[in-house]
Structure 1
Amino acid sequence: MNAIDPRLSINQATIKHADLATALRVTAEAGVPAIGLWREPVNEVGLDVAASMLADSGLRFSTYCRGGFFTVPEGPVRRAAIDDNRRAIEETATLAAAGAPGSKAILVLVAGGLPDGSRDLAGARGRVRDALGELAPDAAAAGVTLAIEPLHPMYVSDRAVVSTLGQALDIAADFDASVVGATVDTFHVFWDPQVLDQIERAGREGRIATYQVCDWKTPLAADVLLSRHYPGDGVIDFASLTRAVEATGYAGDVEVEIFNADVWATDPRVAVQRTAAGFQAAVSPYLRVPVAG
């Protein structure tokens, strides 16, 4: 295999069925310098143990997935979601402190879908903004950036009422850029006719918290959540998107995040190697800025 790109990070979702110890080990053994972690595997072992394991791995910590899911109206369910996001902020800060130099305290947020029985997208998006208003002081105090992730419109009813990068930036505009930013995920934004303009806007406003990549091809899986592919295996134009992100001066890690049953069934060591090879061919040629320390 060619040399591993120093900007590459493996998002733990790509090797979903690997426990935390295995995910850290196969990522480090492959020579990949960074990893993005998910809350469930971290909480399985406990935050302090997870932080120690991350420190021992020598890997950078690129993001933490995920927070959000706060579109429901006021009540016990919403209060529980806000409290859970406060815990996620604390976890993000702890893990970022444990990672190798260059680690970032970035909590990826998925807004949540329409509440049961609702058709009010504008109201749901307003509640996302309201939730960020409650959480921003906690994030600022912890040194954590909340990264709103727009999801492809096919997820608008059940997962994310924020469907475009422009919508994410409009919501983030009420907050300091160091506290609320956006996730640019190629799978979710590549289709948008305005995406290049919105990437430029995000860079101008200092709001690109993380850049995530994977590919799109049809037919989609029966469960459309599991329709992501290795970079280079589908139709996404990584050249234009990556050049646009790079032109903003973004110098962070670039995560590969794949939800795909076949990838998950692959030996995690092999999946990491295959991810690195696809990244090297499809994304690396367009990365010019070295990772920021």
Structure 2
Amino acid sequence: MRDFSADHRWLSINTATIRRQRGQEVPLARLIDQCAAHGVRAISPWRDQVAAAGLADTARQLKALDIGLSGYCRGGFFPAADTAGLRAALDDNRRAIDEALTLGAPCLVLVVGALPGALEGRPVHKDIARARHEVRDGIAATLAYAREVNLPLAIEPLHPMQAAERACVNTLEQALDLCDELDPARSGLLGVALDAYHCWWDPKLQAQTARAGERRTPQERSRLLAYHVCDWLTPTRDLLNDRGMMGDGVIELRRLRQWVEAAGYEGFAEVEIFSTQDWWQRDGDEVLTTCIERHRTVV
């Protein structure tokens, strides 16, 4: 396992972690400058932030500061109420791939979606099997374009608590089953984003992480495309926006990284923290300093 104690060269910051500072939304350009000032080599920005800042301007700023990406958030949300909605989702994912390419992202992270309308509190139907079928078809269609432009897609399984409104793919096993069906050659263009917050509880996690790294021939590629870290607090006050700083909760982060790296993952550990009541109320430099310290000591 890699030694992170001496530096933070393998630390990435998902911009959600510092997008709110002292309770206020902060422009992406400022977030990028803050990361550069702390010697952070990679980020993972969100599409809405990039849209607000300007795609071309963001690409230029990243290049000028020599900051790369560990991923791009996010594509997905494939299920829809009707055929027009399904088509709109595919068009949006194609745009997301184009944006990721412009920014030099190594992958587009897919939060696949679930029951249409549930995120707004008005689900159109309750048929989760239908939603999963639409997810499968949506990924297949999006993968066809991803192959044309050589941009990998990373399916991110979300915790079952978010199965109704955000993602009906809820275990690493589910995500890998989709990968095996749609990309049996293990081309490297379809894989997974393993998020500690969403997957730490899974009794099959060690075995499925090893499965993600399997390569039967030299031509095959690992399915592990991104690795996200934070911590699970006890008690958790909000299941969406009360993630913990690494080391403040119950996830065995060192053990999990040992599994991930044993499976061949050599990329960034990307810190992704949503924290309305704590870290989003703090100064961004304090948050980044803490991320760096915990990356060295507990990740």
Matches within 5 A, 1:152-171: 152-171=159-178
Q: Which residue of 1 aligns with 2:282?
A: 266
Is 1:136 the counterpart of 2:136 in the alignment? no
Structure-2 separation of matches of 1:141 and 1:264: 39
The number of residue pairs the alignment matches comes to: 274
Q: Which residue of 2 aligns with 1:248?
A: 263
The answer as to whether partners of 2:11 and 2:41 remain within 8 angstroms in 1 is: yes
Structure-2 separation of matches of 1:181 and 1:253: 16
Q: Secondary structure at the match of 1:147?
A: strand
Structure-1 separation of matches of 2:149 and 2:274: 30
The answer as to whether partners of 2:231 and 2:250 remain within 8 angstroms in 1 is: yes
CA RMSD of aligned residues (A): 1.4
Structure-2 separation of matches of 1:8 and 1:131: 31
The answer as to whether partners of 2:81 and 2:124 remain within 8 angstroms in 1 is: no
Q: Secondary structure at the match of 2:201?
A: coil
| Amino acid in structure 1 at the alignment position of 2:182 | F
Q: TM-score, length-normalised on structure 2?
A: 0.88
Residue 3 of structure 1 and its aligned partner are, at CA, apart by 4.7
Residue 196 of structure 1 and its aligned partner are, at CA, apart by 0.4
| Identity %, equivalent residues | 43
Q: Secondary structure at the match of 2:225?
A: strand
| Amino acid in structure 1 at the alignment position of 2:261 | E
Consecutive unaligned residues in structure 1, runs of 5 or more: 97-103, 284-293
Structure-1 separation of matches of 2:80 and 2:193: 22
The answer as to whether partners of 2:234 and 2:250 remain within 8 angstroms in 1 is: no
Q: Which residue of 2 aligns with 1:238?
A: 253
Q: Which residue of 1 aligns with 2:236?
A: 220
Q: Which residue of 1 aligns with 2:198?
A: 188
Matches within 5 A, 1:7-156: 7-17=10-20, 18-96=26-104, 104-115=105-116, 116-156=123-163
| Amino acid in structure 2 at the alignment position of 1:275 | C
Q: TM-score, length-normalised on structure 1?
A: 0.90
Structure-1 separation of matches of 2:83 and 2:113: 16
Which of 186, 197, 219 pairs up with 2:207? Answer: 197
Per-residue CA deviation, residues 92-134 of structure 1 (Å, 9 max, x unaligned), is 01101xxxxxxx4211110112232433222211111100111
Residue 73 of structure 1 and its aligned partner are, at CA, apart by 4.7
Structure-2 separation of matches of 1:94 and 1:192: 35
The answer as to whether partners of 1:105 and 1:143 remain within 8 angstroms in 2 is: no
Q: Which residue of 1 aligns with 2:219?
A: none
C-alpha change, 1:275 and 1:268, in structure 2 (3 Å) is same
195-204 or 108-117, larger mean C-alpha shift: 108-117
The answer as to whether partners of 1:263 and 1:271 remain within 8 angstroms in 2 is: yes
Residue 75 of structure 1 and its aligned partner are, at CA, apart by 1.8
